[in-house]
Amino acid sequence: MTGAELTWEVLSQLGTTVVFGVPGGAILPLVDALATRREIPIEFIVSRHESASVHAGNGYARVTGRPAVVLVTSGPGGTNVITGLVTAMTDSVPLVLIIGQVPTTLIGTDAFQEADLFSMTMPAVKHSWRITDPGEVADVLFQAYQTAGSGRPGPVVVEFPKNIQFMECPQRGLPTSLLEEEVWEEKPMVWSRIKAYLRSAKRPLLYVGGGVVSSNTQDYVMQFAEDYDCPVAHTLMGIGVCPSSHPRSLGMLGMHGTWYANNAMQHADLVIALGARFDDRVTGKLDEFAPNARIIHVDVDAAELSKLVRPHVAIHGDLRTMFPKLLKAVPKANHDEWWGTIREWKSSHPLKIPAAIEGTVASATVMQVINNHLNPDDVVVTEVGQHQMWAALFLHREKPRTFLSSGGAGTMGYGFPAAMGAQFAAGEHRVVLLAGDGSFQMNLQEMGTVAQYQIPLWIIVLNNGGHGMVRQWQDLFHGKRRLGVDLLNPDFVRLAESFGIRGFSVNSKEALDEALTTMESINAPVLLEVMIPKDEHVFPMVPAGQPLSTVLEG
C-alpha cells in the first residue's frame, strides 16, 4: 500500500468512521486514497474553514469520549487550526490532527504553502510527529491515537509530507497497546491522612471538573456523595456529573457560579477536588480561596497538583483506578447541620429570573423554556459569552457529555462547528446549539456545511445586538464606557433561508415555546433567533480578583 492508503486502513482499524477537514494540495494523495478505497467505512466531512474542522472534531470527541480525526493541508491549512488546538488542549479533548506538508525534498526551501507546522503547533498539543519514512506510517498513527486518548486527553499532530503519502509502505498488524495500565500507588501515610480528614470533617464539599467526565467516573462520584452525605459543586467542564435535578447538586461554582456553591466552598472544612484544576475562574482571589478547608486533590496530570492551590493531600492518579479504593475508605456519614445551612442559603439566595422587557425574552427565561423541550440524552453546545453562563446556570443537564462548551480558552466561534461534530456522534439524539449573535458570526460560514450535509441541528441565536459579555464588563468595571461592542447583524432568518434552512424569529416567551414545538417535527437543520434585552447582565457574578464570597446578585 501507499502511505495514503495505509493511513485509512489504520484509522479504520482504530474505529474511525468520520473525519473532519478541508482538502488541499499537500493532502490530495490522502483524499484520493479515500475516494478510491470505497470499502473503507470512513466519511469525510468538509467544513468551510479549517478552524471549524478542528472544533467539529472537538464536539465529536467530547460526545463519544474517543479521539476524533481531523485532516487539513499544509501552510495556511495548518495555521488555521492553531486556535482549535489550544481550545482542545485547555479542555483536555482528544484529537488526532493530520496535517499535510510539502515533500521532504522541499522542506526548508520556502516552497509553496510550506510552514513549519510541526514547530508551530507543538506548544498547543500533547505531542507532535513528522513522518519522514514510509515505514513509520502505521506506528506513528497508532501512537498518535493512543497518546491523544490516554492519561489527560488532548490533541496531537501528525505532519505528513506529500511524497511519503505516495510511497509504498510495509504492511503489518497494529500492536494491541503501547501503554501500560496505570496502577495507583497506595501510600499508607497518605491513606491514613485521607481517612482522618474524612472522619473529622463537618462541612465537606465535592468539587468536580472535566476530569470526571473524561474518565467516565461520574457514578463513583455520586456513590461517594451518597455514602458521605456530601454536596457536589461542579465546574463548567463538569456539568452533568451530578444531575441538575439531584438534591446534592449545588450547581456551578466560580465567577458566574451560584451563590450557595461559592459560599459552600468558602465555608467548607474539607474540599475533595476531583479532575479539576483550580482555574482562576473558579478560585477567585487565590489567597482567600476555601480559607477554612483542608484540600484533597486528585488529578491524572501531575503538573496540575500544587500549580495554583497547594493541597493538604495531592494524589497523582487516574480516577478510574483510584476511586474503587477510595470508596472502600469513605465513612458512612451524616452532615445534617451542614445541609441545613445549605438549604437556608438556597432559599435566601436563589437564581433570579429578570422581569420581561417588551419585545424581548429574558435570557434566563429562554433557558427555562428550552428545558421543557430537551430530553436527558440531548446534547447542548454553547458558544462563548453571556448566553454560555445563562445556559450553565439555568439549563438542566442530567448526564455527562450532554453539555459542551469552550471552557479554558473561551473560544468564540467554537460552538457552531462543535455542534456539527457532536451531531455525528449523537446519533438520533437532538443537538442544540446556543449562540450569541457575536460568537455565531465567528464561524457563520458553516451554515453551508450544515445545509450540504443536512445536519439536523437546532441553531438558537440569542440576539442582543453585540458582544454582551464585554458590554457587561464595560458597564460594571469601566464606567459604562462602551466601545467596540455593538454589531451590525444580518437578518439571520433570511440568511438561513438562503441556504435552504428554515428559520424563525421570536420576541416573546409564548412565541418561543410555539417555535420550539414546531421545530420538534422538523428533521432537518433549523435556525431560531430569539431577541433578548440589549442591556441584560448575567448574574450571579464574582468580580475578577475578588474572593468567592463577594457575589454580585444583580
Provide the annotated active-site residues. 50, 112-113, 162, 469
Cis-peptide into 67, omega within 30 deg: no
Helix ranges restricted to H, 202-271: 210-215, 218-228, 259-267
The total of other beta-carbon atoms located within 10 Å of residue 92's CB is 25
Distance CA 414, CA 402 (A): 16
- Ramachandran angles phi, psi of 197, nearest 5°: -65, -40
Please calculate the CA angle 490-494-499 and round it to the nearest 5 degrees: 110
Among 35, 176, 153, residue whose Cα is nearest residue 92: 153
Q: Which residues of 417-449 are buried (b: 16+ CB within 10 A; e: fewer)?
A: bbbbbbbbbbeeebbbbbbbbbbbbbbbebbeb
If we measure between CA atoms, which residue out of 413, 430, 411 comes closest to residue 422?
430
E strand residue ranges, 317-440: 379-382, 403-404, 431-436
DSSP H or E segment with residue 59: helix 50-64
Length of the chain: 554
